[in-house]
């Protein structure tokens, strides 16, 4: 039947199943082996698979990301964990110049089947150097696929798809979701279960306004929708799941139905995921169906402050989403 599974356990299951399924798959990163992972995502895997498959690295992102990219070019299927995506900046040369561009520059002769994964975006009380969302950065680059899960089902299904994909995939997880339990259907508990990359999911159908989000803000949108439903406003909540390639068709179909759009993200406004969605809607067939301008609900345009009250004011809260909806619907 249906099980309650945390995002942490869903990711652990996915890694375990894929390590078992294909001996070319291996995991490397800081603390992933003997310590069971900085966030316990890889709990038990080193004991089960040993040093060849689960590898502790020095604190040297550029080094171990480079080793992983080379391994992928040579036919292995590495999963490279960053302890936070803020520190993938040390290795962004490897991710973009070495991994993302190689298949194109080799005319398809050299695939690079690699997954870069770890926590992305704001956690709690860790200040600016650990709180940035990189969805827009990595989503900007052709040659990468970029996924951003919310629920346990997203996390498990997208990680399995990412590992099986022959392209480099960046998987942006959220530290604050790791301990959150979600319902996992019987289907999603199976070893064959995958979530296709590039397909959004309608988490809540509605008729009055479309809310589009990825990662943790999906939960905030669902909460906001519940509050608004009591006031007679029915929100359609779309969980983007994938940043690149972006499923704009699902968003368009929803906007055609609701005639209103609010995008929600934890990242910064300038050149953000919401900015891209708004531009694509503007350029496409759904624009004629909009009854009001599309509105972005984003993080504040500042480096993340350390103080809790300031942090709360810098990330979109349920009240901010409700405010954006009411503004858009003119109520």
Residues classed as catalytic: 61, 130
* 3-state SS, residue 322: helix
* Torsion (CA) 266, 268, 269, 274 in degrees, nearest 10: -40
Query: CA–CA separation, 51 vs 218, rounded Å?
Result: 37
Pairwise CA distance, residues 1 & 212, whole Å: 30
Specify whether the CB–CB gap between 178 and 209 falls below 8 A.
no
Question: What is the distance between the alpha carbons of residues 33 and 192, in angstroms, rounded to a whole number?
Answer: 26
What's the token pair of residue 80? 């490279």
Name every residue whose Cβ is closer than 8 Å to that of residue 214 and which is 6 or more positions away in sequence.
135, 148, 150, 239, 240, 241, 243, 265, 273
Owner of token pair 């301008």 = 293
CA 315, chain centre distance (Å): 17
Alpha helices in 208-307 (DSSP H): 217-229, 248-258, 273-283
Task: Locate all alpha helices (DSSP H) within 151-264, ordered by sequence.
Answer: 152-164, 217-229, 248-258
Q: What's the rounded Cα separation, in Å, for the pair 164 and 293?
A: 40
Beta bridge partners of 184: 3
CA–CA distance, 88 with 102 (Å, rounded to integer): 19
Instruction: Round to whole Å and give the CA distance between 144 and 169.
Output: 6
Cα–Cα nearest to 208, from 278, 288, 292, 316: 292
Determine the Cα–Cα distance for residues 303 and 297; give it in Å rounded to an integer: 17
DSSP 5: E
């Amino acid at each position: 039947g249906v099980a309650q599974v945390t995002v942490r356990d869903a990711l652990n299951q996915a890694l375990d199943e894929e390590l078992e399924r294909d001996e070319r798959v291996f995991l490397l990163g800081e603390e992933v082996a003997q310590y069971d992972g900085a966030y316990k995502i890889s709990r038990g895997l080193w004991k089960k698979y040993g040093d060849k498959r689960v590898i502790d690295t020095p604190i040297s992102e550029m080094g171990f990301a480079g080793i992983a990219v080379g391994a992928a070019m040579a036919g292995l299927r590495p999963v490279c964990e960053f302890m936070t995506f803020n520190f993938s900046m040390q290795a962004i040369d490897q991710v973009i110049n070495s991994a993302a561009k190689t298949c194109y520059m080799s005319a398809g002769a050299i695939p690079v089947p690699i997954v870069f994964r770890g926590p992305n975006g704001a956690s709690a009380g860790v200040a600016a150097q650990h709180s940035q969302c990189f969805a827009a950065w990595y989503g900007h680059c052709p040659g990468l696929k970029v996924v951003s899960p919310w629920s346990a089902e997203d996390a498990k299904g997208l990680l399995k798809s990412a590992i099986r994909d022959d392209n480099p995939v960046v998987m942006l997880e959220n530290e604050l979701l790791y301990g959150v339990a979600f319902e996992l259907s019987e289907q999603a508990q199976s070893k064959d279960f995958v979530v296709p990359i590039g397909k959004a999911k309608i988490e809540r159908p509605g008729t009055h306004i479309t809310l589009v989000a990825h990662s943790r803000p999906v939960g905030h949108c669902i909460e906001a929708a519940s509050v608004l439903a009591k006031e007679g406003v029915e929100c359609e909540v779309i969980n983007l799941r994938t940043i690149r390639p972006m499923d704009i068709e699902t968003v368009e179909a929803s906007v055609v139905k609701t005639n209103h759009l609010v995008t929600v993200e934890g990242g910064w406004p300038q050149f953000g995921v919401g900015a891209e969605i708004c531009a694509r809607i503007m350029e496409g067939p759904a624009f004629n169906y909009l009854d009001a301008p599309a509105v972005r609900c984003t993080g504040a345009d500042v480096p993340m402050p350390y103080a809790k009250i300031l942090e709360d004011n810098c990330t979109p809260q349920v009240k901010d989403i409700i405010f954006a909806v009411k503004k858009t619907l003119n109520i």
